[in-house]
Structure 1
Amino acid sequence: MDELLKDTDTGTGPGTDDGVGSLVQELFDARDDRLPYLTHQQETVTRGELRERVARQAAIFAGYGIGPGSTVGLRTPPSFTQIEVLLALWRLGAQVLLLDFRLKPPEVAALRTTCRPQFMVSAGSNVRATFGFRSEHEIVTERLRPGRPATTAHRLVQFSSGSTGRPKVIGRTARSLIAEVDRFAGIAGIPGAPGMPVEGDRLLLLSSTAHSFGLVAGLLYSLAAGVSVVFTPRVSARDILRTALEHRVTALFGVPTHFELLAAATDPPALPDLRVAVSGGEIMPPRVAARFAEQYGLTVGEAYGTTESGIVTIDIGGTLRPSVGRPAPGVQIRERRGELYVALDESPYLFGSGGAQYADGWLRTRDRATVDATGAVLVHGRADSLVVVGGLKVDLTEVENVLREHPAVDQAVLVHEDVTEAYVAVAAGAGRPSAEDLSRWCRERLADYKVPRVIRLLESLPRTSNGKLVRRAATLQAALAGEA
């Protein structure tokens, strides 16, 4: 990958592929085409077979006029199809807006309005009835008007909640993706320590392929390293364990929710081939890590990163808990006023969505953290309205804004401790909605993982002496008890 990294330094402008087409070619050329790459149940796709599928998809997309600098929204469920289409679009040099399939139509419409892609590639009919991973999906390609071509060299665009409720639009260049793949390769090469999966390993990937860790550490690194990626048909302890045994998986990547499922399994089978397990997305609760180790005799590692930067720190063997590990190779960090900053060559934010979060070569993660003398990072939680639910970031402000749009709601405050709770004040003169009504309202407008677990209705919400809404759970609970 180092030679390719040199090549990408000479991109010729925002409308060119900036090396992303070469990135796809290099990932395929790195290993033998006969090696298995993707496996789901009894179906296995080799690297060579995937290469042919990607070429066919690219030819079809080229017929629509997609080429270097085209902007394409991609929204498909987890599947071989999702991977084929993403690589095919990159092969053509397109800028891909990778949308989580769990987003609801109003959320997708808002992102399309902001980014104005020229094309939309979506899963076809009967998708709503699907559950879990499938090998293939029919796809539909739609030309959108008015759309605008890429104005920057970013070729992967993702979205993350912002402190104002407006999603941040985050771009990654081919160079950035290559550098992250190389970082994971560097971790794999550290002698005397548990490392990343290598050629011959079978990785059970539970992390979302629409998000950074699952996409780069799971898919792109595995393609470069010759690792076979295995998927489970459904995310349940029973299906995960059956898949792990059937395919003799040697590595497992997921979020704490997955490890909690496995830790709670009754009389689980031994997994003698499993040598490495890594959790990303959110901090692993110590009780879950301890229970998993007790059940399976393997300590779960920690990976910490951001959508903007990719991997920041990692502790593959989980030996440094409660820290999230030391910086990955090539990553520079610093602690400033109790918050963690990561060095980046350029701002990753598009359409002015990042605010002041990037300045003077440093990304402010908004995570409260301390760094010890060895470089190990201990994360203490968020410094803003972002929380993590099931490994996915949720902006409480965004959810509050959706609740306030309900005609019967005057004010709403969200708090998150073990679960996300909403405290809602009903507007004067409006009919009193039920908690079920408000939950349904949210589900129609937000991805399911963003919907508050509990909604509590009050006559009014407590405020501070200067009129600001109180966001302390204890105070809100006391107000609820007082009204009762």
Structure 2
Amino acid sequence: MANTWWGSHLLSSGADDELWAVSSAPVTRGQLRTSVTDLGERFREQGITEGSSVLLRMKPSFTYLHVLLALWSRGAQVVLVDFRLKPAEYEPLSDLVRPQYLVAATGAGGPVAGFRQESGFSVQRLPNGRPAVDGVRLVQFSSGSTGRPKVIGRPADSVLAEIDRHSAVPGIPGKGERVMLLNSVMHNMGLVSGVLHALAAGATLIVPPTLRPAEVVRMMARTETSAVYGTPVHYDLLSRVDSRPELPALRLAVSGGERVPQETHDRFRTHFGLPISPVYGVTEFGLIAGDLSGASVPPQLGPPVPGAEVKVVDEELFVRMKRSPYLYGGHTDRFADGWLRTYDRVRQDPATGVLTMLGRADSLAVVGGLKVDLAEVETVLLDHPRVTETVVTHGEVIEAFVGTDQELASDELVAWCRERLSPAKNPKRFFVAKRLPRNSMGKLVRDRALMHEHVESELPSQTQGDR
């Protein structure tokens, strides 16, 4: 392994016997360094070198993380593709980026069964691959919640700058603390906020081999976890665990990805004795805002973190970047003159700088000549005691897709909305299902056609016609 690669300092710190991570078994920093070095030599023999482009598609495991670090140590550009994607989702992405190499899981059949200690993989040289885009070391795809993933490339200095932003956040887990990671290591929050920050800070990473809530809580107690990182879905499940051991070391719960429902926030605080602290970022830039003090509650996001320069224009959030993060052209509506347009609508407190999420700029619809914020309609629906999740879309009319684990008639939703919304904002059609589809990052899918396809597959769902 070269001593000069851009992340070498992340691996070199700490004694060999210092605990790096725990899943079904512990891994020391010395074991991590040895594994990365050995894998780097294997990749050298395969011809992977500075400027090679490699698509990485493996099951979540410590081997996956070792492979990623080893590829970076060889100077490769690594394209991360979620193992859970179906061929119809994965193959067009591969065709788009045209990597020179494929590092893929062996024995790939069957579902992903949690986080593994080790996993097998193969290395394949691909025909007609193109080399890395100059300077780019990490390639990811947008969440695709609208059905159109974007190819996002980040140079080494972008990733390192995000790690620095994490270290500057007051209350961030530090050396000697134990950080439980529930987020996928294949995506930005799990990879940078979890894995890379823990490496840089000297914290120990705790990755449950299973996400069954009761077992996760028991592992928190057994490992003396001090901080947990997850998504709203994780916290909703954890807050429903009936019998919980004492967790005296737990001081911090951090959530990102989407807004934490107020009910989940309140129930978790009641059961665990601490709030869910928000962080906010985008794949193109990484961490933008956050508050780990417990002072910010949904829909507040906290203030911009040190190192993130933002501006709010007509309630839209922009963040300063050195270069466009989008590879292979396009998306000129999102980056101009050094500013990334997030399409998130926010309000910023002039005194504290705290950002409050208002919704998406692309969630505005015009109904009868009036502007309707579909996020407002979603907020009203989420206030219903039996609604667990919702997506509101607009085509010819406003439609509401509602997830619930209880009996819920669409007529009840009609009455609920009519009492709380003006006529132009009321959904004309309701579709009720046990759960709504989410993408590989755990975010709700917002593509109208995909939502219709899902609810039709769950028939008999309760469908309410035009009102």
Asked if structure 1 preserves the Cα contact closer than 8 Å seen for 2:232 and 2:260, the reply is yes
- Letter in structure 2 aligned against 1:210: M
- Letter in structure 2 aligned against 1:371: Q
CA shift digits 1:388-441 (9 cap, x unpaired)? 9xxxxx9999xx9xxxxxxxxxx9999565549xxxxxxxxxxxxxx9xxx9xx
Equivalent position of 1:348 in the other structure: 325
Equivalent position of 1:203 in the other structure: 179
Partner-residue secondary structure (3-state), 1:350: coil
- Letter in structure 2 aligned against 1:177: V
CA shift digits 1:336-384 (9 cap, x unpaired)? 1221111111111001143310111111111111111111000122222
Partner-residue secondary structure (3-state), 2:113: coil
Instruction: Give the one of 111, 118, 125 matched to 2:100.
Output: 118
Q: Does 1:335 align with 2:318?
A: no
Partner-residue secondary structure (3-state), 1:222: helix
Instruction: Give the one of 209, 226, 232 matched to 1:256.
Output: 232
Q: What is the number of residues matched between the two proteins?
A: 402
> Scaled by the length of structure 1, what TM-score is found?
0.76
Equivalent position of 1:212 in the other structure: 188
Asked if structure 2 preserves the Cα contact closer than 8 Å seen for 1:301 and 1:315, the reply is yes
Asked if structure 2 preserves the Cα contact closer than 8 Å seen for 1:36 and 1:47, the reply is yes
Matches within 5 A, 1:61-140: 61-140=43-122
Asked if structure 2 preserves the Cα contact closer than 8 Å seen for 1:123 and 1:137, the reply is yes
Asked if structure 2 preserves the Cα contact closer than 8 Å seen for 1:169 and 1:353, the reply is no
In 1: Cα distance, 2:233 partner to 2:187 partner:
16
Between the aligned residues of both structures, percent identity stands at 41
Most deviating of 378-387 and 446-455: 446-455
Change (3 A) 1:448 1:326: closer
In 1: Cα distance, 2:89 partner to 2:148 partner:
11
Q: Does 1:478 align with 2:465?
A: yes
Q: Give, in angstroms, the shift of residue 253 of structure 1.
A: 0.3
Change (3 A) 1:385 1:124: farther
Q: Give, in angstroms, the shift of residue 296 of structure 1.
A: 0.9
Equivalent position of 2:22 in the other structure: 39
RMSD: 3.3
- Letter in structure 1 aligned against 2:121: I
Equivalent position of 2:273 in the other structure: 297
CA shift digits 1:231-256 (9 cap, x unpaired)? 11211211211211111111100001
- Unmatched tracts of structure 1, length 5 or more: 1-16, 389-393, 401-410, 421-434, 458-475
> Scaled by the length of structure 2, what TM-score is found?
0.79
Partner-residue secondary structure (3-state), 1:277: strand
In 2: Cα distance, 1:127 partner to 1:38 partner:
27
- Letter in structure 1 aligned against 2:239: A
Q: Give, in angstroms, the shift of residue 165 of structure 1.
A: 3.8
Equivalent position of 1:359 in the other structure: 336
Matches within 5 A, 1:266-345: 266-322=242-298, 323-345=300-322
Partner-residue secondary structure (3-state), 1:352: coil
Change (3 A) 1:35 1:238: same
Q: Does 1:231 align with 2:207?
A: yes
Partner-residue secondary structure (3-state), 1:157: strand
Partner-residue secondary structure (3-state), 1:384: helix
Instruction: Give the one of 341, 354, 365 matched to 1:376.
Output: 354
- Letter in structure 1 aligned against 2:167: A
Structure with bigger RCO (C-alpha 8 Å, 6+ apart)? 1
Q: Does 1:143 align with 2:130?
A: no
In 1: Cα distance, 2:441 partner to 2:9 partner:
38
- Unmatched tracts of structure 2, length 5 or more: 365-373, 376-389, 405-430, 458-462
In 2: Cα distance, 1:158 partner to 1:21 partner:
24
Change (3 A) 1:327 1:449: closer
